[in-house]
Structure formats: structure tokens, C-alpha cells
Chain A
Amino acid sequence: MSAAGASHEAHDAHGHDHHDPHDGTAYHGTMKHYLMGFVLSVILTGIPFWIIMGDVFRSQVTAAVVVMVFAVAQIFVHMVYFLHMNPRSEGGWNMLAAIFTIVIVVIALSGSMWVMSHLHHNMAPMPAGGHEMAPADTPVPVKPSHE
């Protein structure tokens, strides 16, 4: 019930601007805003490409983590400066939908990679020479004879 109440409040709060054809869309960017977003995203794109193409880090894991952090930062920049996300747009429903989507995306991505990497690790037939079939603490099933 409180959600319905909130939506009514949002409608009341917006109620005055939908008569104005220029303003009914509640979508405003400024030149400064766009340029700021553009400069930030050029920087946030350039650095990861430089890291990978220039082999800046010796450790590949470090490079991967740093590149991921830059990607997340750039996605935020795009959301704020280009998509004009803020907690108030559409009475908060934009933000709510976005948060919900992010939660689902994180669950879907990390969940599938986690589950499938376990499966891969425990069930993939190893080529001759690789003997890390299963961790030591799990019961080892009878192996089909492939040697």
C-alpha cells in the first residue's frame, strides 16, 4: 500500500508540468554535463586499453581486476551523465528498476560462472598429464579407465 501511496505522491508532485509540451518529458541535459561525461568516459576507456595493449601489469589477474574496475566506473559515468539517472527521475521508479536489474544481472553472471566453474573443475575429463581431477577432500568416484 505504501508503494501505491508513493506513486500518487509522485504524480501529484509532477502534476503541474505535463501541460507544458516542452517540459513534459523531464529529461534535461546541459552542454557542460555532456562534455563532462564525454571527457570522463574517454579517460576511463583510454586507460584500460593502454593497460592491456601496453602490458603495463606483470600479473594478468591484477590487469583484469583493474580493467573491470574501470569498466564499472565508466558504466556509472554513462548512467549519470548520458542517461541522466538520478534518484528523483520518474518519482524514483527509474532508479528502482535499475537497482533491481543490477541485482538480477549480478546474480545471473556471478552465479552461472561460479556454478559452471565448479562443474568444469570437478567433471571435465583431464587430458593425460593433468591429475587434479577432484579436490582431496571429496570422495573420488571410480574412474573410467582412460589410461
Chain B
Amino acid sequence: MSASATADIAATDAAMQGPTPGRDFYVRGEHHPENGTLLGFWLYLMSDCLVFAVLFACYGVLGRNYAAGPSGADLFDLKLVAINTGFLLASSITYGFAMLEMQQNHKGTTLFWLFVTGCFGAAFLALELYEFWHLIHEGATPQRSAFLSSFFTLVGTHGLHVTFGCIWLVTLMVQVIKHGLIPANRRRLICLSMFWHFLDVVWIGVFTFVYLMGSLA
């Protein structure tokens, strides 16, 4: 530690005397724009993970406070949830196919698989909105109980993420149509793929913790 500390001081001295040619001081990390983006996006996803962790904790604490209202076992339609889970899983694999086609530089098939992914995403959203509409129609609104407030917040936040994922997907399809599979678009597609698969991971937590375990009670 002391050796490196003296090295630090020496480096600081050198820096204070002005840039010395031949001595790369703090420029080294900057020639990695692509890796930098992916690592940065990964860090964003991890922080998003913390957002969901807090919402899950909230649901875990409040999820049994029904205020004499309906419980999860009364409300949840597991068949609907199973279909929705299937949509999201299918969209994950079709996005994987799009990535494989992108690696092969096939613009047309990449766009086709992106389109299929978007359709699955839209189907997921439609079914989730139908479920929400149905719940609200039955009087199980977010205002009804702490359980329903935390349920709508958690599941709604996930749905909002999927919505933005769909918007991003459409934007990227337009970009790919206009500019082709240029390196910038590849990087964006990879970022979206991480986002999309991450949402699938969060959904695993949602269907297990909220729907399946909620139906037990």
C-alpha cells in the first residue's frame, strides 16, 4: 500500500508539472466506448433491480393487509397469468433469434424477429390491461386496500417498463430500417435485449411472489 501511495504521489507530481509526453496518465480507459456503454447499461439495470426490490419488499410487507377486502386468492386468475408468462417467455426467445440474425448481418430477418417480439410484448400488455380493467371493474381498485395498492404499484411498474421497452423496440426498428445494422444500432439492439431479458427476470419474481404465492392463501 505504501509503495502504491508513493507511486500516486509521484504521479500527482508529474501531473502537476503538466502533461508529459509518453506517459499516459488518465487517458487509458477512454478508448472503449462500446464496452463502456454495455457496462453502463448493465449498471442501470442493476439500479432498476433495486427499484423493483423496494417494490417487492413493499408488497411483501403490505401484501396480506386486505382491509376486509378481496384477497389474492379471490382475485387472481392463474390461467391468465400463465398465458401472460408464456407471452413474455416467447418474446425472450424471439428477441434471442433477432440477436442471432443481427450477428449474421441479416437485416430483414432481424426486423422480422423484432416485430414478432413486439407483438408478444403488445399481447402481454393487452392482457395485463384487461386484467387491471377487470379488477377495477370488480371494485378491487388500488384504493381498496394496502394489498391492492402495493399490487398495482409493483405489477404496474413492471408493465410500464414493458411499455417503454415496446416504444424503444419500435424506435429501433425504424432506425434499423433507415440506417441498417450499423455499429451504433447493434449496440442499441444489444442494450434493448438486456433490458428485455431483465424484464423477463423481474416477471419471474412477480408471477412467483405475487400471483402463485398470493393464490395459496
Q: Which residues of chain A have a CB within 8 Å of any CB of chain B?
A: 1, 7-8, 11, 14, 18, 21-22, 24-31, 34-35, 37-38, 41-42, 45, 48-49, 51-53, 60, 63-64, 67-68, 70-71, 74-75, 78-79, 82-83, 90, 93-94, 97-98, 100-101, 104-105, 108-109, 112-113, 116
Give the segment of B30-38, B115-123, B129-137, B162-170 that binds chain A: B30-38
Check B38–A90 contact: CB distance below 8 A.
yes
Give the segment of B14-22, B151-159, B171-179, B194-202 that binds chain A: B194-202
Given A52-B215, A104-B53, the answer on whether A83 and B32 have CB atoms closer than 8 Å is no
Which residue of chain A has the shortest Cβ distance to B216 in the bound complex?
A60
**Residue contacts A-B, CB under 8 angstroms, 27 given:** A1-B1, A18-B31, A18-B32, A22-B103, A25-B35, A27-B38, A28-B103, A38-B93, A45-B207, A48-B208, A49-B85, A52-B215, A52-B216, A53-B82, A68-B213, A75-B205, A78-B92, A78-B201, A82-B200, A90-B35, A97-B46, A98-B46, A109-B57, A109-B60, A112-B60, A113-B57, A113-B61
Given A25-B187, A27-B38, A48-B212, the answer on whether A38 and B89 have CB atoms closer than 8 Å is yes
**Secondary structure call for the B interface:** helix
Check B34–A108 contact: CB distance below 8 A.
no
Which residue of chain A has the shortest Cβ distance to B50 in the bound complex?
A104
Which residue of chain B has the shortest Cβ distance to A1 in the bound complex?
B4
4 nearest A-B pairs in the assembled complex, by CB-CB distance? A34-B96, A71-B208, A82-B197, A112-B57
Interface size bracket, B side: 35 or more
A7 CB to nearest chain B CB (Å) = 7
Given A24-B35, A28-B103, A52-B215, the answer on whether A101 and B49 have CB atoms closer than 8 Å is yes
Contact with A along B91-123 (1 / 0, CB 8 A): 011001101100101000000000000000000
Task: Name B70-93 residues within 8 Å CB distance of A.
Answer: 78-79, 82, 85-86, 89, 92-93
Check B31–A94 contact: CB distance below 8 A.
no
Which residue of chain A has the shortest Cβ distance to B186 in the bound complex?
A25
Check A94–B89 contact: CB distance below 8 A.
no
Check B215–A108 contact: CB distance below 8 A.
no
Which residue of chain B has the shortest Cβ distance to A45 in the bound complex?
B85
Check A83–B194 contact: CB distance below 8 A.
yes
B186: chain A residues at CB < 8 Å are 22, 25
Check B208–A93 contact: CB distance below 8 A.
no
